[in-house]
Structure 1
Amino acid sequence: LLHQFGIERIAKNTALTLSGGEKRRLTIARSLVTKPKLLMLDEPFSGVDPIAVYDVQQIIVNLRKLGLAIMITDHNVRETLSIVDRAYLIFEGRVESEGTKDFLINDPISRQLYLGERFKM
């Protein structure tokens, strides 16, 4: 797993010394040790640089190709919508809109509550 996620060089480092992207890759690798059927990621794109965002996106896409179900919660809409099959907009504790990326981008409710009228991918 260390090689698969490009973190073999940090194997002996403590977590406190890792960058945000290294921490994300390590977290995902650790969660795969138990061979889960569902991987839940809470804000995997938060606090990491654009290169690390891309790396994490590629890891998620590759895990999906292997048949792993993945659920992501994140405020980074562009990064998340670009890699998901389906998305849910939760507002004040309720699902207000759901569908494909294209549906949510064009949905008037999604635009009014969260995306804004000028949102573009």
Structure 2
Amino acid sequence: MGSNTDNPMNPNGAARIAFGQYKAWQVGIHGYSDPHEALIQVGAVRVHRDWNRDMMRTGDAMDEGYFGINQHWGYNHPKNDIHTAGAGCFVGRLCEEHIDFMYRVKSDPRYIADPNFVFPTTIIPGNKL
């Protein structure tokens, strides 16, 4: 089975979220076969469509909208191979670490005050960390 880049859900290419900050996620449930708590996309985001399947954003067409880009666990896939764990999603490889992430998210005073709080996320290039 190939990656989501090789077999994109969208004919224009796999989604690679554009760098920037988005206020677009709420606590909810991700998945059907293995449902679990996650941050679910509720606001529009911009993505690059990797039509040439080079796994790079450069030169790719932009798209904006609601794509189901959630922040969920990676089903304990091996290191360096999230395989098909997320089609454009933010994936934490280990389920246990994602459970800890969600605990921290739900400890946020803004969420405690309002369970419908919409969380921001900042996307930066890995080489800028």
Report the TM-score when normalising by structure 2. Answer: 0.24
Which structure exhibits the higher relative contact order, with contacts defined as CA atoms closer than 8 Å and separated by 6 or more residues? 2
Larger radius of gyration: 1
Report the TM-score when normalising by structure 1. Answer: 0.25
More helix by share: 1
